[in-house]
Amino acid sequence: MPNKGPKGRKNIILVFSILLFSLALMSISAKQQEGLSFLDSLAGLILSPFQNLFTQSVQSVSDGIDHYFDLVNVSKENEQLKLEVERLVHEKNELIERISRQKRLAGLMAYQDDRKKESLVASVIGRDATQWSKVVVIDKGSRHGIKRHLAVVTNSGVIGQIIHAGPTTSKVLLTIDSRSAVDSLFQDSRVSGVVVGTGEEQCEIKYVPNTAKIKVGDRVLSSGLGGIFPKGLFIGTVSQVVKKKQGLFQEITLAPSSDLSKLEEVLVFLS
Amino acid sequence: MIHSMYYLAQILIVIILFSIQTTWLGMFSIGGVVPDLALIWVVYCSVHCSRAMGIGSGMMIGILQDSLSGGLLGVNTLSKSFIGLFFSALKDKFYVEGVIPVAFFMIVSSLFDGLVFYFSMNTVLEGEVATSFLYQALPAYSFYNGMVGPVLFIVLNRLENWLKLKTLDPYMARGK
C-alpha cells in the first residue's frame, strides 16, 4: 500500500509525458512539415534496400508457392520432365513479365509524349506502413529532381501527388487517401467539384449542386486549379449518384482511373 | 558487446517486419485490410521485455510508422506508446500468453489504435474519415490482428529464445 502512491504518480507522469510528446510532434509537424522531413528521409533510406529486395523476391516466391502445389502429386518418373517444364514456364513467365513491363512503359512514354511535359518514370517499391493511409513509395527521389506537390499519373490518369521526396525514394499520396483533395470538373457537363479520398477503394466528389445533371459513367477530369495537376487529366468515372431532398449537394462516388492496389510503374510530372 | 548484438538483432527484426508490412503484406489483404505487424511487435515487446523497453519500443515504432505513412507525426506515436505502457503495466496483473489471451488483447489494442487514428484525423488533423470506418474497416482490422497476433507471437518467441542462446550468456539466457 505505501508503494502504490509513488507508482501511481509515476504512471500519471508517464501518461502525460506521452500525451505531451505526441501532441507536440503533431503540432510541430503540422506547422513545419519540411523541418521534420529528415525523419521521413532517414526511415526511407534505411528501409528502401530491404523494400527493393522484398519486392523483387515476391514474384519468385509466388512462383515457388504455385509450383509447389502443382508438384505435390508428381511421380518420380516425371520429376525430371516436370522440372524442365517448370524451368521453361519460369522462363516464359519472365519473358511475359518483361513484355508486359515494356508494354506498360511504352504506354507511359506515349502518354508522356502526348502531354509534352517534362516527366520521369518511376517504379513502385513499397506501400503504406499503416492500414489507414493510402500511400505508395517510388524508387525516385530528390536526386532525380522530384519534390513535393508534383503530380503522379499512369497512362490511365491521375493517381496522386508527391508528399515527401527523400534522396532516393519518394512518397505518393494516392487520390483515395482521406487527406487527398483534387479540384475537378465533369467532362460533359463542365460542372466543377472536389474529388476527395475516403480511405477506402473509392473517392467522393463534393460540392456538386443538386441541380447539376450527373449520371453514372460520367468522366471526371482535373480542373487545373490548385497548381498541382494540369487541366484535363482523367481522375475517374462516376459509380454512384445520390440526390437527397434535403441539402444543397449531391453525394457522388467515383471509381479511380486505375486500380490503385496494383500500381507498378508511374509517371511523375516534373513541372 | 554480446548484449549489443542482441539489441542489433532486434532492430533487424523491426526493419524486416516493416519491410514485409510495406511490400508483401498487400498480398494477404482481405477487403483492403492488412494486419499491423508493428502493433503486434509493440504488444510482444511490452509483454516480454522490461517496462522501459516496452514503452520505448512503442514510441520508436510509432514515430517510424508515422514517418513511413507520410502523414503528420504523432498519431501512431500516441497510440503505440500508450499500448506499450498499457501492456507493460498489464503483464504483472494478467497472463498474456496462449492463443486466446493474445488474440483478445490484440483485438483490444487494434481497436484502441484505430480509435486514436479516427479521433486524431477527425479532430486534430486535416483529414476526414467516414463514420463507416468504425463499423467496417476497424472491426475487420482488429479481427485480422487477433488472428495473426498469436501466430507471430509464437514465431517471435522461438526467434527470441534462439537469439538469446546465440547472443547472451548461456547461463543468463536460461535464467530468463
B159: CATH: 1.10.1760
Q: pLDDT class for B151, splitting at 50, 70, 90?
A: very high
Q: Which residue reads 500468453 in cell numbers?
A: B97
Type and span of the H or E element at B12: helix B2-22
Q: Estimate the share of chain B in helix, then strand, then coil, as percent rounded to the nearest 5.
A: 80, 0, 20
pLDDT band of A186, cuts 50, 70, 90: very high
Reply yes or no on whether the pLDDT at A162 is more than 60.
yes
pLDDT of A1 over the 80 cut: no
B128 and A196 within 8 Å at the Cβ level: the answer is yes
| Domain topology for A35-271 | Thrombin, subunit H (2.40.10)
pLDDT of residue A188: 86
Query: Is residue B164 in some structural domain?
Result: yes
User: What pLDDT shows up at residue B175?
Assistant: 45
Higher pLDDT pick, B27 / B156:
B156
Question: Can you read off the three cell numbers belonging to residue A233?
Answer: 487529366
Average confidence (pLDDT) over B33-58: 88
CB within 8 Å of B51: residues ≥ 6 apart: B88, B89
pLDDT band at B41 (very low <50, low <70, confident <90, very high): very high
Sign of CA dihedral B112, A175, B22, A268: negative
Average pLDDT in the B29-48 region? Answer: 87
pLDDT band at B172 (very low <50, low <70, confident <90, very high): low
The verdict on residue B17 lying in a domain is yes
How many domains does one find in chain B?
A: 1
Q: What is the pLDDT of residue A74?
A: 60
Which amino acid is present at A239? Answer: S
Whether the per-residue pLDDT at B12 is higher than 80: the answer is yes
pLDDT digits (tens, 9 = 90+) for A204-262: 999 999 888 899 999 999 988 888 888 888 999 999 999 887 878 899 999 998 888 88
Q: What is the pLDDT of residue A73?
A: 58
Per-residue model confidence as pLDDT tens digits over A11-37: 788 888 888 888 888 777 776 655 456
User: Chain B closest CA to A238's CA: distance in Å?
Assistant: 19
- With pLDDT > 70 as the criterion, what percentage of chain B qualifies? 88
The one-character DSSP state at A77 is T
Residue B90 maps to a domain:
yes
Q: For the packed helices B37-48 and B137-167, what is the interaxial angle rounded to 10 degrees?
A: 50
Q: Is B50 on the interface with A (CB under 8 A)?
A: no
More confidently predicted of A104 and A195: A195
Q: Which of residues 180-209 of A touch B (CB under 8 A)?
A: 196, 198-201
The SS3 of residue A255 is strand
Domain-wise residue ranges, chain A: 35-271
Block residue for cell numbers 468515372: A237
What is the distance between the alpha carbons of residues A79 and A97, in angstroms, rounded to a whole number? 26
- In this prediction, residue A235 carries a pLDDT of 92
In tens, the pLDDT along A52-94 reads 777 777 666 666 766 666 666 566 666 777 778 878 887 887 8
Nearest Cα neighbor of B18 from A60, A251, A46 is A46
Predicted pLDDT of residue A231: 86
- Name every chain A residue with its beta carbon within 8 A of the beta carbon of B62: 22
Main-chain phi, psi angles of A125, to 5 degrees = -115, -10
**Residues B43, B149: Cα–Cα separation, whole Å:** 9
CB contact under 8 Å between B71 and A133, yes or no, is yes
CB B167 within 8 A of CB B2: yes
Say whether B67 and A163 touch across the interface (CB within 8 A): no
pTM summary value: 0.62
Confidence grade of residue A109 (pLDDT, cut at 50, 70, 90): confident
- Look up residue A94 and give its three cell numbers: 519472365
Closest CA to B120 of B82, B76, B87: B76
Residue B176 lies in a domain: no
Mean residue pLDDT across chain B: 82
Interface of B with A in 62-81 (CB under 8 A): 62-78, 81
As given in the structure block, the three cell numbers for residue A22 are 505526441
Residue numbers of the domain that contains B136 = 2-171
Mean per-residue pLDDT of chain A: 82
Cβ separation B36–A130 shorter than 8 A: yes
Q: What are the φ/ψ torsions at residue B175 (nearest 5 degrees)?
A: -60, -35
Question: B157 to chain A nearest CA, in Å?
Answer: 23
Residue listed under C-alpha cell 467496417: B136
Indicate yes or no: CB of B23 within 8 angstroms of CB of A179: no
pLDDT at A2 exceeding the cut of 50: no
B15 close to B122: Cβ distance less than 8 angstroms: no
Which of B44, B43, B155 lies closest to B109, judged by CA?
Answer: B43
Select the more confidently predicted residue: A1 or A179: A179
